[in-house]
Chains A and B, each alone.
Chain A
Amino acid sequence: MNDIANDLAEEGHDVDFLFINGPDDAFPDLLANKASFPIFQDTEEEGAWVQHGGTKDDMIIYTPEHTLHAFLKFGGPVDTNLSTPDGIENLKNVILQALGALP
């Protein structure tokens, strides 16, 4: 995901990337090793994952007005596996659409 963020920044796009670590996971530092994004530690009390209606590895894109642009369910019709070129390209295209850079 770092590569996508860097590509978009180089193209002049302003995009924020965030991680929300699962409420049952006590090792958010492991996520920090993967990217230099803010990492929010979810809790049972706050229930951020539940508020988003998602589960592990789901990706959610909001417009600048913070209305939902796309909810990419992991394993859904859109490949978002970032270990594959297709997954990276798919996610990047969705972000570009949210930016209005794509039709």
Chain B
Amino acid sequence: MSPHNPRPLEATLKHRSLIPMALLALFAVGCETAELGPKPVWAGGDAPALSDTSLPDISSGDSAVTTDTDAATEDDASTAETSVTDIPVTETSSDVTVTVDADAATDAATDGATDGATDAATDAATDAATDAATDAATDGATEDVEGTPDATEDTATEDAEGTPDADADADTAAVDISSDLASEDLAQADVEGCDPDSDPTCAGALAPTWQLANVAQETAGFGETYGLEAYTGTVTVLALLTGG
């Protein structure tokens, strides 16, 4: 009878049970590292935390690169003020960009605030102007409606007094006498206070009573002495002239 040797069999069985476990453990570590699957259940203790990995956390913006750049920015603070202002600002960037572009961000914020304030002021001014114009128009319309009787009364009063019309006619007469003018407006001395009883140039003044000789040989009354009474009943036009 051959002797029985149990050790190789036990060792073989132990190895066979460890192989799947080792494979499972390796697979679990790989998934956790790549964040491709659920965290595996670890037989030997807690699973490693996500922060323990060397991958950057892009959700928080705090990264090793950011920290390094912050340090560099702080170290070169004296020169960074003038050298980094041209770097464009990106709101979705990490703390690095925000820190480096502090001035630019401030400028942008200032500009934004200024623009916003300007826009707000403009809007407010426009609104106020629009409101004021609307109010004025409304008030004016109201005043027009309310003032219509007054304007009519004023016009009627002026017409009754006659002064505005006389002034208007006088001004018009100086420009165009062919327009419709009151006859008294054409008198040269037809001014306020002109007394036709004492001033022969006032409208309504009576014709003088001079008596002179008619020296025009080819006219009726040549050689006779008479005056304007001979022409009563007709419009008479006199011209004061000299032949010499």
Contacts and interface: CB of A to CB of B under 8 A. Distances in A.
Interface residues of A, number: 70
Contacts of A13: 235
Contacts of A73: 188-189, 201
A69 B243 contact: no
Interface stretch (B74-82, B90-98, B138-146, B210-218): B210-218
A79 B242 CA distance: 19
A95 B212 contact: no
Contacts, number: 220
B166 to A, nearest CB: 14
Interface stretch (B3-11, B48-56, B58-66, B170-178): B170-178
A38 B234 CA distance: 15
Given A29-B243, A38-B214, A52 B187 contact: no
A56 B219 CA distance: 23
A13 B186 CA distance: 20
B207 A21 contact: no
B30 interface: no
Interface in A1-55: 1, 13-22, 24-32, 36-43, 46-49, 51-55
Interface of B: 170, 173-174, 177-178, 180-181, 183, 186-190, 196, 199-222, 228-229, 231-244
Interface of A: 1, 13-22, 24-32, 36-43, 46-49, 51-73, 76-79, 89-91, 93-95, 97-99, 102-103
